Amino acid sequence: MPSIKYLFALVAFIAFSPASMAVCVDTKMVNPVSDVVWDCMFPITIASVPIDMGNHPPDNEKGEFLCSCSGKGYTGQGFLITYWEPARMLDTSADPGCFPALGRTIDVGGGSDGYKAGGTLENSGSDSHAFQHYHFYIYPILELLNMFLDMGCNSGDSVFDIAVVSEIRPDWSNDFVAAQWYPETSLIANVGPVLACIADAVAATIQRPIDALYWCMGAWGVTYPMSGHIPAMDYVAANAGIAAKAMTVQARMFGLNDRAINYCTAVPSPIWVKSHWRIQQVDPVVANRCMVIGYPGLLWTSRKNPVGRGDSFSWLLFRKVRCCVVF
């Protein structure tokens, strides 16, 4: 069974990975079955007919019934289905080399300059900010568990992989370097673009983030500078915001493939479409729901960071899938 292969490969990877000093306090791995809120796959539609909306509002679909994908299947003609796929995962870690999703510390060759001892929440008068490292995983749970593969809508990913670790990125710990890598930062650092994020925060509260305001993360702030620093009063919400910032960095590196832009194939979009993603906390506490990007922390962060669990987090990413199932 693919799930057995996955577990064996993961155990082997952890067993033979070089470990540094024991930093990770929480040694529990994320469970690919019990820690997933499967309700987050809804709403599912088949040929524009909703099957079940679950606890989520219906998607803004165009009501398409038939679709066509040349080179796919015998005829290329089919019908459209949509659902939400648990496909990626992110750590936001207070200590370099701590992988809370794996429950283990791994030597990644040191930390970024100035943050080898890990990120922290700092207070300076009335200002507070957080810094965390991030680790980005390819985590195709449906394929690993051999689920829904007969529809012909599998992503093509078949293995678990740690794709990116921020400890080796010079831009992630340095706002100035990040601003040089992403020169549009100076355009966003103005009153107008920042105030526009108020509208996105309101929209995120009702689970309708505004995609046109791609630099906004709802109530979590703005994506720029695209580094691991973020203004913060709520530490858990700050980590969710850092995870969202990491997603935008992955998008700019063409590493955040979108499956809802084109129903025939995944599209590596350099500008993320926020409404095509949901996020669920899976460590140190498994949340009982997933959220849109920017959902206000006041509504969900209570008891999400127990004392003594290391201040590191893991987040499961659900992405929207629009797929043409050929006849």
Q: For residue 175, what is the enclosing H or E element?
A: helix 175-181
Q: How confident is the model at residue 305 (pLDDT cuts 50, 70, 90)?
A: very high
Higher pLDDT, 65 or 288: 288
Question: For residue 178, what pLDDT is reported?
Answer: 95
Gyration radius of the chain's alpha carbons: 20
- The residue among 67, 5, 71 whose CA lies nearest residue 32 is 5
Q: Is the pLDDT of residue 301 over 90?
A: yes
Taking the C-alpha atoms of residue 63 and residue 116, their distance in angstroms, rounded to an integer, is 51
pLDDT tens-digit map of 154-201: 888 889 999 999 999 999 989 999 999 999 999 998 899 999 999 999
For residue 247, pLDDT over 70 is answered with yes
Q: 53 pLDDT band (50/70/90 cuts)?
A: low
Report the C-alpha gap between 69 and 169 in whole angstroms.
39
Give the pLDDT band of residue 47 (cuts 50, 70, 90). Answer: confident
Q: What is the pLDDT of residues 90-141, one digit of tens each?
A: 999 988 899 999 999 998 865 444 444 445 566 655 568 889 999 999 999 9
- pLDDT the model gives residue 75: 77
Q: CA–CA separation, 232 vs 221, rounded Å?
A: 9
SS3 188: helix
Confidence at residue 140, expressed as pLDDT on a 0 to 100 scale: 94
pLDDT value, residue 156: 81
17 has a pLDDT exceeding 70:
no
Q: Please provide the average confidence, as pLDDT, over all residues in the chain.
A: 86
Residue percentage of the chain with pLDDT more than 70: 85
188-196, Cβ contacts within 8 angstroms, sequence gap of 24 or more? 188/215, 188/222, 188/224, 189/224, 193/222, 194/222
Q: Are 274 and 293 in contact (CB under 8 A)?
A: yes
Q: 145: which 2 tokens?
A: 């568990």
By the 10 Å C-beta count (0-12 exposed, 13-18 middle, 19+ buried), 181 is classed as middle
C-alpha span between 317 and 282 (Å, rounded): 10
Judge if the upstream peptide bond of residue 193 is cis by omega within 30 degrees of 0: no
- Mean pLDDT over 54-64 rounds to 72
pTM value is 0.89
Above pLDDT 90, what percent of the chain?
62
Q: For the beta carbon of residue 180, count every other beta carbon within 10 angstroms.
A: 12
